[in-house]
Every structure is written in structure tokens, then in C-alpha cells.
Amino acid sequence: MENTNTAAVCRKKPTLLDIRNIAQMGILAAIAFVLASLEIPVWFAPGFYRIDLSELPVMIGAFAMGPLAGVMIEFLKNVLYFFLHGSSTAGIGEIANFIAGCCLVVPAALFYNRKKTKKRALIGMCVGIVLMAIAGWLQNAYILLPLYASVFHIPLDSLIAMGTKVNASVTDLPTFVLLIVVPFNLLKGAVVSALTLLLYKRVSPILHGKLC
């Protein structure tokens, strides 16, 4: 007969801040940092807008360990990027990336962890994609684009002109954000979400470990 105490220990799930989860969050943050450095240009935006897949390990970690783990992985990723890659915006860009990443990952993880079904994951991802697009819109319109123009001594009108070159409908800051920034974030969120759906079930046994 199985020992009752042993069975209880085997069934006990690890807490967020146990050694295994801390190590996993660190590994996922390192993978996210590497992916953040692999940027892909998009056809509908100026060259300084490039998609990366750094939210993919963040989303996977949040699904496996909960939304708070996702926030911690996203934070660690941006800290690593700031100190190892450097920042041209004195950390403002990394803070904006952290906020946008959390807007995508946290709702998806909250929906999925409440009831772990594919339908719940899809609903959460859709909510997250919309929130990330809204966050990107607000941050670019009021913080990032004006800051980028200031730091690199480029008139804001010149940045808007870059958008006009790829989309003639871009004529001012509101249309730049609506026609370039919003689609950019929608595409990034959709790609990250699709890849999460494809990969999560394959890697989740590794993240969860072998419980008895």
C-alpha cells in the first residue's frame, strides 16, 4: 500500500517562489532576452518598428506558473535588455515594453489558469491582444514617438513622413498610431499567441516537472 505521507508530498504542487520555479523564470527570461534581440521588419511600418517574439516564453511561463510569474519574467527580460543591450531611451522604452507585454500576457494567463481549456486560452489571448494594442497606441502617441524624436533630434514630422512613405494615408500623429502602431501590436500579439498555442502543450510537461 502507498504511504499516505509520501502520496501527500507527491501531490503537493510547488509554490511560485520555490527554487524550481525561480530557476524556470530565470531561464525563460534569458530566452526572452535573446528573442528580443532577434527583430523582424514589417512591410507596413518604418524600419524602426520591428517585431520580436520575446513575449513567447513569457506567455508560456505565465500559462505554466500563473500570471504573476509572467509579470516577473517580463520584468526580468527588460532588466536584462536594459543592462546587457543598453537603452537609447534611458529605460523608457523598456518600461513601455514591460507594460505592453503584461497587457498581452496577464489577461491570457488569468483566463487560462482559471479553467485550463483551449477556448479559455483563446479568449484570454484575444483580450490580451486588444489591451496590448491599446497600450501601444497610448504609449506611442504620448510618450515613445515624442521621446524618440527628442532623443535622436528628429522632428516629429519627419517620423510621420517615414510612415507616409509606407502608407500614404498616414498624414499626422493620430493616423500614424492608428494605421501603423495599432496593426503592429495586433500582429505581434497574434503571432505570439498562435505560437503559444502550438508550443505550450509540448513544453508544459517540462515546466511542470514530473509529479507523482
CATH of residue 122: 1.10.1760.20
Chain mean position to CA 201: 19
Which residue has cell 524618440? 148
* 192, 55 contact by CB (below 8 A): yes
Q: Counting beta carbons within 10 angstroms of the beta carbon of residue 34, is it exposed (0 to 12), middle (13 to 18) or buried (19 or more)?
A: middle
Instruction: Return the closest-CA partner of residue 49 out of 57, 58, 39.
Output: 39
Identify any residues that bridge with 198 across adjacent strands, giving them in sequence order: none
Show the CA angle centred on residue 137, arms to residues 131 and 142, nearest 5°.
130
Return the pLDDT at 14.
61
DSSP output for 39-67: -EE-TTS-TT-EE--THHHHHHHHHHH-H
Query: CA 104, CA 131: separation in Å to the nearest integer?
Result: 7
Overall pTM surpassing 0.85 (yes/no) = yes
Helix 67-80, helix 19-36: angle, nearest 10? 50
Q: Counting beta carbons within 10 angstroms of the beta carbon of residue 169, is it exposed (0 to 12), middle (13 to 18) or buried (19 or more)?
A: exposed
Tens of pLDDT along the chain (212 residues)? 344 444 444 445 567 778 888 999 999 999 999 999 899 999 999 988 999 999 999 999 999 999 999 999 999 999 999 999 887 777 888 999 999 999 999 999 999 999 899 999 999 999 999 999 999 999 999 998 998 888 888 899 999 999 999 999 999 999 999 999 999 999 999 999 999 999 999 998 888 775 43
Return the pLDDT at 11.
47
Return the pLDDT at 91.
82
Return the pLDDT at 64.
94
* Domain range enclosing 12: 4-208
Instruction: Please give the tally of structural domains in the chain.
Output: 1
